[in-house]
Amino acid sequence: MMFQFMQSLAQFAVAGITQGTKSIDSAASYHIPMSLLIVLAALMLILLPFTPESPVWYVYKDKHEQAEQALRKINHSTPCHDSSHGLQIIDD
């Protein structure tokens, strides 16, 4: 979901940039948006390691300990979060 969200934001940003460069009468009118697409893709790749894994995927692969760690990482801002309850919901 996070990957799709980042991709949608990148498309929105480049659509705005393309709209802004349409009045340029040189090849820069398409070079600028195309080069920024590469920058946005690189940014997504850089941020990918910081995106938490899906606890549902871990449970599907019978990796319950990693699923619990992923739930803790996702809910780190919630004090006293009970990961075992979330795991039970995923299992069900």
Q: Does residue 6 sit in the same domain as residue 45?
A: yes
Distance CA(74)–CA(47), nearest Å, equals 16
Calculate mean pLDDT across residues 63-70.
Answer: 86
pTM for this model (two decimals) = 0.49
Q: Does residue 16 sit in the same domain as residue 46?
A: yes
Q: Does residue 67 sit in the same domain as residue 34?
A: no
Domain count, the chain: 2
Query: Residue 63 belongs to what domain range?
Result: 55-91
Confidence label for 88 from pLDDT (cuts 50, 70 and 90): confident
Q: Does residue 6 sit in the same domain as residue 44?
A: yes
Contacts for 74-81 with beta carbons within 8 Å, 24 or more apart? none
Q: Does residue 39 sit in the same domain as residue 76?
A: no
Calculate mean pLDDT across residues 8-33.
Answer: 86
Q: Does residue 73 sit in the same domain as residue 37?
A: no
